[in-house]
Amino acid sequence: MGLDIVQFFENKTILVTGATGFLAKIFVEKMLRIQPNVKKMYVLIRAMDKQAATQRLHEELIQKELFDILREEWAENFNSIVEKLSPIPGDVSCENLGVHDFDLRSEMWREIDIIVSSAASTKFDERYDIALAVNAFGAKHVAEFAARCVNIKMLLHISTAYVCGNMTGVIQEKAFSMGETLNGSRKLDVNKEKLLVEELMNEL
């Protein structure tokens, strides 16, 4: 990361979704390594409660080999660095990211400067209701949560894999309108898809 980018993250509070995933894990480690003066990192982890989220944070991030360089660099002060990580039990497929504690939610809305959204399912054969809830409505819920953050400076969405379909060659970044698809049609209604899923689930 360039020096000005590193300085940008100084004293900032960051929310990371999908924190136990491949890319987010690397982001969390690198952020702590190159900018130890980050203020706080909320890490949203799918878990039943704070204790379970904390356990997943330690088992799937902090204790991994990925953190060995950070462990060596900070030695006895390593714990003071990883204490900046605040595990939050939640789920992007739910409104308010599944953060049920109103006081915690209010604190996050006050404090968060940056959101790095990396939660997604990359399974080829994921159940359609789960894929829709996480990959489509998850992104919507993160955007809605970001809109409540009074000091938000940046929302970075890392899209799930394979979003370009079968396209080849140079693929330009392009903003899509609601309902627009890769082939240019505007026939996709995500709310109708959700309704279809709910009807089928009720039948089952």
Residue 189 in domain: no
Listed residue (33, 82, 92) closest to 61, CA to CA: 82
Residue 78 in domain: yes
Number of domains making up the chain:
1
Residue 194 in domain: no
Listed residue (12, 36, 4, 21) closest to 118, CA to CA: 21
The Cβ of residue 59 has, within 10 Å, a number of other Cβ atoms equal to 11
**Domain encompassing residue 71:** 3-163
Residue 195 in domain: no
Task: Check pLDDT > 60 for residue 1.
Answer: no
Instruction: Tell me the whole-structure pTM to 2 decimals.
Output: 0.87
Q: What is the pLDDT of residues 21-69, one digit of tens each?
A: 888 999 999 999 999 999 999 999 999 999 999 999 999 999 999 999 9
- For 143-160, what is the mean pLDDT? 93
Q: What percentage of the chain carries pLDDT values higher than 70?
A: 97
Q: Which of 2-6, 30-34, 64-68, 155-159 has the lowest mean pLDDT?
A: 2-6
